[in-house]
């Protein structure tokens, strides 16, 4: 059972929502009990959520029966939202929402991005201003599979040998959305070919290998097997070996929380602190989730 972090807030005006935060028995993560995102959230309660997000990196809001508009409105309280480059998988009149799904439409076309999260990554790391955080809301869940894993990159950094820490401090790496795109398309026919206009929107970006969290000041590794293509200033073979070593060290089991989805879960994670991975869903089972992505700032 999760450990209780703090009791309900003291009694206040009846219009205020009261909720509990319960830490998971895991390296990261806490669940929010008793909060309804569809109802107003006052500034004090929101500040408490914000602090919990910084402290635990993953917040799980249980049984959120919200509309797409309510999902977007709650997400926007944390900052402006990114619009994903794959416009093919936007939700109708809500382009802020990316459909993550393996379901096919009646005409055989994919409803959403079916292989999202196939490699460890931090969302939108390929842009000059990567994501602050992502909010994923369960719409339809499979009877088995479909878990999401989160790895704490602060812990990964702190666990590196001092000599390796000194070696990578100050290094920069290139991140590209196209790094594995064609390889994924070859395996997954639901991935669309990108237009030139889409390619132009995802030019590679360069970021520190070790970033500093802008709100907490903690250092974290900021490379991934999905989007990081090379480490600048190093010969390709040396950079590839270093990148492989960092990626292997960053996802050790002692840094990982495995989320097993429950109906109507809304999961909000900090892309500045974590990487994540989709564990996979059997092809015959349906899975659909809606994702918003909060824009962050340039890593330093």
Looking at residue 15, its pLDDT comes to 59
Active site residue 84: no
**294: phi then psi, degrees, rounded to nearest 5:** -90, 130
User: Which one of the listed residues 56, 57, 84, 121 is annotated catalytic?
Assistant: 121
Query: Which residue has 């096919």 as its token pair?
Result: 104
The strand order across the sheet containing 228-231 reads: 205-208, 172-175, 228-231
CATH of 3-295, one of 3.40.50.450, 3.40.50.720, 3.40.50.150, 3.60.130.10: 3.60.130.10
Active site residue 42: no
pLDDT digits (tens, 9 = 90+) for 159-180: 999 999 999 999 999 999 999 9
pLDDT digits (tens, 9 = 90+) for 112-127: 998 888 999 999 999 9
pTM of the model: 0.92
Ranges of each domain in the chain: 3-295
What string of H, E and C letters represents the secondary structure of 160-195? CCHHHHHHHCCCEEEECCCCCHHHHHHHCCCCCCCC
User: Which one of the listed residues 48, 84, 154, 276 is annotated catalytic?
Assistant: 276
Residues in contact with 293: Cβ distance below 8 Å, sequence separation at least 6, in sequence order: 81, 82, 84, 98, 123, 124, 131, 133, 134, 135
Confidence of residue 213 (pLDDT cuts 50, 70, 90): very high
Which secondary structure element, helix H or strand E, spans residue 199, and what is its range? helix 196-201
pLDDT over 80 at 190, yes or no: no
CB 151 within 8 Å of CB 250: yes
Active site residue 50: no
Distance, in Å, from the CA atom of 88 to the CA atom of 211, rounded to the nearest integer, reads 32
Looking at residue 6, its pLDDT comes to 44
Q: What is the mean pLDDT of residues 16-42?
A: 96
pLDDT digits (tens, 9 = 90+) for 247-295: 999 999 999 999 999 999 999 999 999 999 999 888 889 999 999 999 9
Distances (CA, A) of 60 to 22, 260, 262, 284, 288: 10, 11, 10, 27, 17
Distance, in Å, from the CA atom of 197 to the CA atom of 176, rounded to the nearest integer, reads 16
Question: How is residue 160 written in tokens?
Answer: 């590196």
Active site residue 287: no
User: Which one of the listed residues 82, 115, 123, 270 is annotated catalytic?
Assistant: 123
């Amino acid at each position: 059972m999760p450990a209780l972090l703090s009791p309900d807030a003291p009694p206040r005006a009846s219009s205020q929502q009261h909720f509990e935060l319960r830490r998971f028995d895991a390296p990261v993560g806490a669940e929010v009990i008793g909060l309804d995102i569809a109802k107003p959230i006052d500034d004090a309660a929101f500040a408490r959520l914000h602090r919990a997000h910084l402290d635990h990196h993953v917040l799980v809001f249980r049984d959120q029966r919200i509309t797409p508009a309510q999902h977007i409105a709650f997400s926007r309280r944390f900052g402006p939202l990114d619009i994903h480059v794959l416009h093919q998988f936007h939700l109708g009149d809500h382009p802020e929402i990316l459909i993550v799904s393996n379901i096919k439409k009646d005409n055989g076309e994919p409803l959403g991005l079916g292989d999202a999260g196939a490699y460890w990554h931090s969302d939108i790391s390929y842009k000059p201003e990567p994501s602050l955080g992502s909010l994923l809301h369960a719409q339809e869940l499979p009877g088995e599979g479909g878990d999401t894993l989160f790895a704490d990159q602060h812990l990964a950094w702190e666990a590196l040998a001092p000599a390796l820490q000194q070696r990578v401090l100050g290094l920069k790496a290139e991140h590209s959305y196209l790094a594995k795109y064609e390889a994924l398309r070859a395996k997954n026919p639901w991935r669309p070919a990108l237009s030139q206009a889409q390619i132009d929107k995802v030019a590679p970006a360069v970021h520190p290998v070790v970033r500093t969290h802008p709100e907490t000041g903690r250092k974290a590794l900021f490379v991934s097997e999905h989007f990081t293509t090379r480490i600048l200033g190093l010969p390709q073979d040396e950079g590839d070996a270093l990148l492989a070593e960092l990626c292997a060290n960053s996802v050790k089991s002692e840094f990982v929380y495995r989320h097993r989805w429950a109906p109507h879960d809304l999961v909000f994670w900090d892309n500045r602190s974590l990487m994540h991975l989709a564990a996979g869903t059997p092809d015959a089972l349906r899975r659909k989730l809606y994702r918003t992505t909060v824009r962050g700032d340039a890593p330093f």
